[in-house]
Amino acid sequence: MSWKEQTVFEQRKEFVMLALEEGSNLSCLCARYGISRKTGYKWLSRAEEGGWEALQDRSRRPRQIPRQSTPFLEEAVLALRELHPAWGGRKIAQVLARDRQILVAPSTVTHILHRHGRIEASKSEAAQPWKRFEHEFPNALWQMDFKGHFAMLSGRCHPLTVLDDHSRYNLVLQACADERRQTVQQHLQACFERYGLPRRIQADNGAPWGHSGQDTLTQLGVWLIRLGIRLSHSRPAHPQSNGKEERFHRTLKAEVLSQRLFADLLEVQGALDRWRFVYNHERPHEALSLLTPGQRYRPSPMSLPACLPPIEYLSGDVVRKVQQGGWIHFQGQEWKVSSALAGLPVALRPHRDEESRFEVFFCHQRVASFDLSVIGIE
């Protein structure tokens, strides 16, 4: 995957930021970004010597910071608020200190915004931080979902989003024309090539990753499991199970989608690409103690395999090939597993505590169970 011409500066910055994180594997990172080690070292050297502006063909940033004063401070606060209308006092204060060495209390920033009419009282009262459980390491769990589709001047856009649970790092932010399996799989494969594989992915119960009718799996789910990824679904009618994705969608809507009417998918993608870099590497995240997601994220050490690994089971397993329609035959009875598994082998293992109960596994994933004393799958 080579540099994208329309976002070359953002990709260079993202590469440098990830490469500078402790424990990063430069060779693996260069391979995933489609560049040589020589090129990777070149951008690291340029950033070290000349800062971020050295990664551009032409620098637009001032080389000197003006002497601070009250008018200058207000101008800096209002300029950052103009650039990011959804940011509040804590985020703006953090970025001013981090990027421009302007030390100011968040409360002072909030007073400036109020004084200039940049904060509505109703929105200030409604701003409540979300507190969620998070996994201990990057790539232990990714959350995946579609942001609600919206109208453009030409057709509708279905934004696909994937978020790392530990770091809140946004891995996929893609303007899609539909929500089909082929579309999602294409963008997930590009993501896996760049960032590696997660241990588990959680999604809701909608297509193309959720349950299809009475089936327990979809074709997309089968592909993910074949890659060694554990697949889980949020409880029906409980969107809070994917709470970080829901919160991310609120931020995306507030900072990008609610501000304009887009002409087409290309224009939407341009806006998403620009905002994604800001979200990952510039915007302080309150749930991360005002660090950015990029400061907590590390690419996965598990790379995407060149081909799907063979399906193997334990020596004591009873293996059955799934027939068309998703059925298997066992001890004189037919049991429904999943039509998405047609033509593939599954393993039957006796339950530890119940003699008449068997569990059905596809690769590492438990996909069904049944009781020989009861006709029908559970």
Closest CA to 25 of 191, 172, 196: 196
Question: pLDDT tens-digit profile of 95-113?
Answer: 888 888 887 888 888 878 8
Q: At how many degrees (to 10) do helices 26-33 and 181-195 cross?
A: 140
Q: Which of residues 276 and 204 earns the better pLDDT score? A: 276
- Examine the pLDDT at 190 and tell me if it is beyond 60: yes
**Residue 353: its pLDDT value, please?**
75
Side-chain half-sphere exposure of 115, counting CA atoms within 13 A: 11
Give the model's confidence band at 7: pLDDT under 50 very low, under 70 low, under 90 confident, else very high: low
The correct CATH number of 142-296 out of 3.30.420.10, 3.40.1390.10, 3.40.50.360, 3.30.110.30 is: 3.30.420.10
**Residue 74: its pLDDT value, please?**
82
Average pLDDT of the residues in 317-346: 92
- Examine the pLDDT at 333 and tell me if it is beyond 50: yes
Question: pLDDT tens-digit profile of 131-154?
Answer: 455 678 899 999 999 998 999 999
Is domain 318-371 annotated with CATH 2.40.50? yes
Side-chain half-sphere exposure of 207, counting CA atoms within 13 A: 9
Give the model's confidence band at 79: pLDDT under 50 very low, under 70 low, under 90 confident, else very high: confident
Structural domain spans, the chain:
5-55, 70-126, 142-296, 318-371
**Residue 130: its pLDDT value, please?**
42
Residue where the block lists tokens 């059925």:
327
Question: pLDDT tens-digit profile of 348-370?
Answer: 998 877 777 899 999 999 998 88
Distance CA 14, CA 21 (A): 11
- Examine the pLDDT at 203 and tell me if it is beyond 70: yes
Average pLDDT of the residues in 212-227: 83
Distance CA 85, CA 3 (A): 30
Q: Quick one: DSSP state of residue 265? A: H
3-state secondary structure 43-82: HHHHHHHHCHHHHCCCCCCCCCCCCCCHHHHHHHHHHHHH
Q: Which residues contact 346 (CB under 8 A, 6 or more apart)?
A: 319, 320, 321, 322, 328, 337, 360, 361, 362, 367
Give the model's confidence band at 240: pLDDT under 50 very low, under 70 low, under 90 confident, else very high: low
Closest CA to 81 of 44, 109, 58: 109
Q: Which two tokens stand for residue 49?
A: 């010597």
Closest CA to 338 of 155, 196, 210: 210
Give the model's confidence band at 375: pLDDT under 50 very low, under 70 low, under 90 confident, else very high: low
User: In angstroms, what CA-CA distances link 98 with 55, 168, 245, 293?
Assistant: 19, 20, 27, 15
Q: Which of residues 273 and 107 earns the better pLDDT score? A: 273
- Examine the pLDDT at 60 and tell me if it is beyond 80: no
**Residue 120: its pLDDT value, please?**
60
Question: pLDDT tens-digit profile of 284-298?
Answer: 888 888 899 999 999
Residue where the block lists tokens 């800001």:
278
Average pLDDT, the chain: 84
Average pLDDT of the residues in 210-238: 80
Residue 349 host element (H or E): strand 345-350
Indicate the SS3 state at residue 202.
Answer: strand
Closest CA to 204 of 227, 225, 226, 179: 179
- Examine the pLDDT at 267 and tell me if it is beyond 60: yes
**Residue 205: its pLDDT value, please?**
79
- Examine the pLDDT at 218 and tell me if it is beyond 60: yes
Cβ count near 96 (within 10 Å) = 18
